[in-house]
């Protein structure tokens, strides 16, 4: 597999790796923004005097605004300009993180999370078309692997950085603020790079705006006609992509499982297995680092075999591993090992899902198609934290994590149905 990756890098056009590298770095920050607070839920609970369920709502708010802005950003990337979509979302995400670092109250934190969600929403609709239009078909799985690697390392950063800052006696705000400052600097740099150095054939939309709304008459009615035309255009694009809608449903289910695990695994390791905060966060970081390597395996397998079997195996293994973890029948060291294995197993599915989304996307709607599947992912992010936080407070940790395992096994069933109905990439 290593030889094939090196060979792929040698034969890829230079612009492919410029685009894939820059977008992967953007994905690193994007994913870091998503997991700022799960490593320090106990700290936040004490500072803002709220419970896990309320903090789950704060995590869910980010997922909700992320979901709401997926299609608008997808439309922007597909019909207007991908550089604007990437730059705008990158700046908004960084500003939201800086606002979270300064949050004096729980309510302020909710607003900051909402802004982060809007910023994060634009990444996938811009990233995936940029990769798709700059990468040869036979290298697509490997390009998505590098992209997934950036995201996995991004997930791994906050547990180490923010928990390390807290363990050293400093405020969590310092760690969050540092991530926001780096994110803002990168947002400005990557916007310049794509505006000045990347070919317009990559950054321009697939399909020019059709101007549906231009016939709406006077200014007021034209504005109303524009919104109606856009709504109709969204519905047409959705109806033309039943396979993408099915993938969005699968993404919702698998994401609910993944975010349920990520949001509360540190809490479970602390309260259920007796680990300290720093060691529990090291386990979470380790799971993402294992996932960062496993994503290359997923990309290679997706290119060599096909997407469906890779996804089925990934979801099934995650379900079994989380089930064993939930039962609490192993010791603390073995529990950490299970967390690492979950990180690797769930990452294998990422490139396969991306490749399948690309294959099922209607012509000229790649950004919107990835926005639709990301809506599924982000709905899972919106639903899982409050739902499983409530379960932990009412039914206990074991019941909540057995629920996480069950949802992952449901994703296996959905994947089998999806491949049988729509085919494999």
pLDDT score for 406: 96
Give the Cβ contact number of residue 184 at 10 Å.
18
C-alpha torsion sign, points 168, 170, 175, 176:
positive
How far apart (Å, rounded) are the C-alpha atoms in residues 280 and 284?
A: 6
pLDDT tens per residue across span 20-38? 889 999 999 999 999 899 8
Looking at per-residue pLDDT, the higher value among 352 and 317 belongs to 317
pLDDT digits (tens, 9 = 90+) for 236-277: 666 667 888 888 899 999 999 999 999 899 989 999 999 988
Q: Say what the pLDDT of residue 252 is.
A: 93
Q: What is the DSSP string of 206-256?
A: SS----GGGGS-SHHHHHHHHHHHHHHHHHHHHHT-HHHHHHHHHHHHHHH
Ranked by mean pLDDT, which of 134-138, 200-204, 334-338 comes out on top? 334-338
CA angle 314, 323, 384 (to 5 degrees): 75
- Closest to 53 (Cα-Cα) out of 292, 390, 289, 400: 390
Phi and psi of 26, rounded to 5°?
Answer: -65, -40
Q: Of 31-40, 91-100, 181-190, which range is least confident?
A: 31-40
- The mean predicted confidence, pLDDT, of the chain is 84
Tell me what pLDDT residue 215 has.
Answer: 45
Q: Is the pTM of this model over 0.85?
A: no
Structural domains of the chain in order of their starting residue, each with its CATH number: 13-208+234-422 (1.20.1250.20)
Most confident of 12-26, 69-83, 189-203, 395-409: 395-409
Across 56-200, the runs of DSSP E, i.e. the strands, are none
Range scoring the smallest mean pLDDT among 147-161, 212-226, 238-252: 212-226
- DSSP E strand stretches across 72-212: none
Q: What is the mean pLDDT of residues 210-236?
A: 54
Return the sign of the alpha-carbon dihedral for residues 161, 85, 377, 338.
negative
The predicted model gives 341-346 an average pLDDT of: 94
Identify the weakest region by mean pLDDT among 27-31, 123-127, 198-202.
Answer: 198-202
Residue 214's pLDDT is what? 44
13 phi-psi bin (left φ>0, alpha ψ -120 to 50, beta other): beta
Please give the residue that has the higher pLDDT: either 106 or 357: 106
Mean pLDDT (whole number) for 315-340? 95
């Amino acid at each position: 597999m290593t030889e094939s990756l090196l060979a792929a890098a040698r034969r890829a056009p230079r612009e492919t790796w410029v685009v894939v590298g820059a977008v992967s770095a953007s994905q690193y920050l994007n994913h870091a923004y998503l997991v700022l607070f799960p490593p320090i839920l106990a700290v936040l609970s004490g500072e803002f005097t709220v419970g896990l369920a309320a903090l789950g709502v704060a995590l869910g708010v980010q997922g909700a605004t992320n979901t709401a802005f997926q299609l608008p950003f997808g439309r922007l990337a597909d019909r207007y300009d991908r550089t604007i979509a990437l730059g705008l979302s990158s700046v908004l995400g960084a500003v939201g993180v800086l606002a979270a670092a300064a949050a004096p109250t729980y309510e302020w934190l909710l607003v900051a999370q909402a802004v982060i969600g809007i910023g994060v929403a634009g990444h996938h609709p811009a990233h995936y078309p940029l990769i798709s239009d700059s990468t040869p078909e036979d290298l697509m799985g490997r390009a998505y692997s590098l992209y997934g690697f950036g995201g996995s390392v991004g997930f791994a950063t906050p547990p180490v950085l923010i928990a390390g800052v807290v363990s050293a006696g400093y405020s969590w705000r310092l760690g969050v603020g540092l991530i926001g400052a780096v994110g803002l600097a990168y947002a400005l740099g990557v916007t310049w790079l794509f505006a000045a150095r990347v070919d317009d054939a990559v950054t321009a939309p697939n399909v020019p705006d059709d101007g549906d709304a231009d016939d709406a008459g006077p200014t007021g009615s034209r504005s109303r006609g524009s919104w109606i035309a856009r709504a109709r255009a969204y519905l047409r694009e959705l109806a033309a992509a039943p396979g993408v809608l099915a993938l969005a449903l699968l993404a919702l289910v698998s994401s609910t499982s993944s975010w349920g695990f990520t949001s509360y695994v540190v809490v479970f390791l602390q309260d259920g297995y007796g680990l300290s905060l720093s060691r529990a966060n090291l386990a979470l970081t380790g799971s993402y680092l294992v996932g960062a390597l496993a994503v290359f395996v997923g990309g290679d397998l997706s290119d060599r075999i096909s997407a469906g079997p890779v996804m089925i195996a990934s979801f099934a293994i995650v379900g079994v591993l989380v089930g064993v973890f939930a039962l609490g029948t192993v010791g603390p060291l073995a529990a950490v090992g299970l967390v690492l294995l979950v990180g690797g197993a769930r990452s294998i599915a990422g490139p396969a899902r991306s490749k399948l989304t690309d294959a099922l996307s209607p012509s000229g709607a790649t950004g919107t198609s990835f926005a639709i599947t990301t809506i599924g992912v982000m709905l899972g992010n919106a639903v899982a934290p409050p739902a499983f936080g409530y379960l932990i407070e009412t039914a206990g940790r074991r019941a909540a994590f057995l629920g996480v395992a069950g949802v992952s096994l449901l994703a296996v069933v959905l994947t089998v149905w999806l491949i049988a109905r729509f085919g494999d990439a």
